[in-house]
Amino acid sequence: MSRLSRLRDELRVKPGSKVDLSKVDPADEHGWKKDDAEAATAQQMARLSDLQDRFWAEAKRSVLVVLQGIDAAGKDGTIQKVMEAFNPQGCVVAAFKVPTPEELAHDYLWRIHKKVPGKGEIGIFNRSHYEDVLVVRVHDIVPREVWSSRYREINEFERHLTDNGTRIVKFFLYIDREEQRQRFQDRVDDPKKRWKFSMADLAERKLWDDYVAAFEEALSKTSTDYAPWYVIPANRNWMRNLAVSSILAETMDELKPAYPPAPSDLPKDLKVE
């Protein structure tokens, strides 16, 4: 097993296991040094670019990347850094914020299903259907019997997508409370980042323990063989980028995307007048 394969295995939430985030170090480097990790990430980015080109040309299947994490965990940064390997023509990013009145008039998965990538595409979800077992739970928006049934519904939804040609890979970007505090402070101090900060972020921060409990249950109940969760140590951006890029590259490589064969009647020499 290669070093990157071992990293993937270490970070994967095994189906049926119970996640205890107090036993996970969000600053864990898993034996990597920054320079080596950045060099390996560059290699994975080139690999991802080649794999996406094959997916786009093949146009038979799709890949869905789900990014979740507490506020300031690095979802935007992951998209900006890792997903730059992809041609925008075949990569679609969807961000799920507070539901609109139209979305609230439908079941909670309606707005999600609309954004699932088509054949040949790679879809990136910045937040996702998991908000309906996270925010909804923490803020007591719906009764417990409602949100607790959604773990089963989400598993069935992801099974349906998988059966219809969408490979799902889910990343939980994990930072500790002190790292979040520092990132909030950095946003306040930097005029270019200040727009990203809201006083509501501080109110949500007070609910840290509630969110951790919600994440632990979601990770435990919805990591499956067909749609696994990976807990990414995200205190260090370079470690986060290595983990996400290598896991995504290995996931896509397992599908063995290939360029379609040339038409049988294609001449070897084109005569263009």
Which long-range contacts link 222-226 to residues 24+ away (Cβ below 8 Å)? 222/130, 222/151, 222/154, 222/155, 222/158, 223/12, 223/13, 223/14, 223/15, 223/17, 223/170, 224/15, 224/155, 224/158, 224/159, 225/15, 226/158, 226/159, 226/162, 226/168
pLDDT score of 266: 80
Residue-wise pLDDT for 154-213, tens only, equals 999 999 999 999 999 999 999 999 999 999 999 999 999 999 898 989 999 999 999 999
Q: Is residue 17 part of a domain?
A: yes
Q: Is residue 77 part of a domain?
A: yes
**What is the dihedral angle through the alpha carbons of 143, 148, 149, 150, rounded to the nearest 10 degrees?**
100
Question: What is the average pLDDT across 32-54?
Answer: 98
Question: What is the average pLDDT across 25-53?
Answer: 98
Q: Residues of the chain with pLDDT > 90: what percent?
A: 91
Going by pLDDT thresholds of 50, 70 and 90, the confidence category of residue 267 is confident
Question: What is the average pLDDT across 18-32?
Answer: 98
- One-letter identity of residue 267: P
What are the backbone angles phi and psi of residue 68, rounded to the nearest 5°? -130, 155
Q: Is residue 206 part of a domain?
A: yes
The domain tally of the chain equals 1
**pTM of the complete model:** 0.96
Question: What is the average pLDDT across 15-19?
Answer: 97
pLDDT score of 273: 64
CATH number of the domain that residue 35 is part of = 3.40.50.300
Q: Is residue 13 part of a domain?
A: yes
Which two structure tokens, joined as six digits, stand for 78?
A: 């992951």
Question: What is the average pLDDT across 225-250?
Answer: 98
d(CA 73, CA 244): 13
CA nearest to 7, candidates 52, 40, 49, 50: 40
Q: Is residue 80 part of a domain?
A: yes
Q: Look at the alpha carbons of 205, 210, 214, 219 in this order and tell me if their dihedral is positive or negative.
A: positive
- 118 has a pLDDT exceeding 80: yes
The structure tokens 């919805």 sit at 222
Q: Is residue 223 part of a domain?
A: yes
- Most confident segment among 74-83, 221-230, 255-264: 221-230
Which two structure tokens, joined as six digits, stand for 132?
A: 């309906």
* Domain limits for position 159: 3-171+191-229+237-254
Q: Is residue 202 part of a domain?
A: yes
pLDDT score of 85: 96
CA nearest to 70, candidates 147, 180, 188: 180
- 116 has a pLDDT exceeding 70: yes
Q: Which of 45-49, 155-159, 192-196, 214-218 has the weakest average pLDDT?
A: 192-196
∠ at Cα 237 (231, 242), nearest 5°? 65
Write down the mean pLDDT value for the chain.
96
Q: Is residue 81 part of a domain?
A: yes
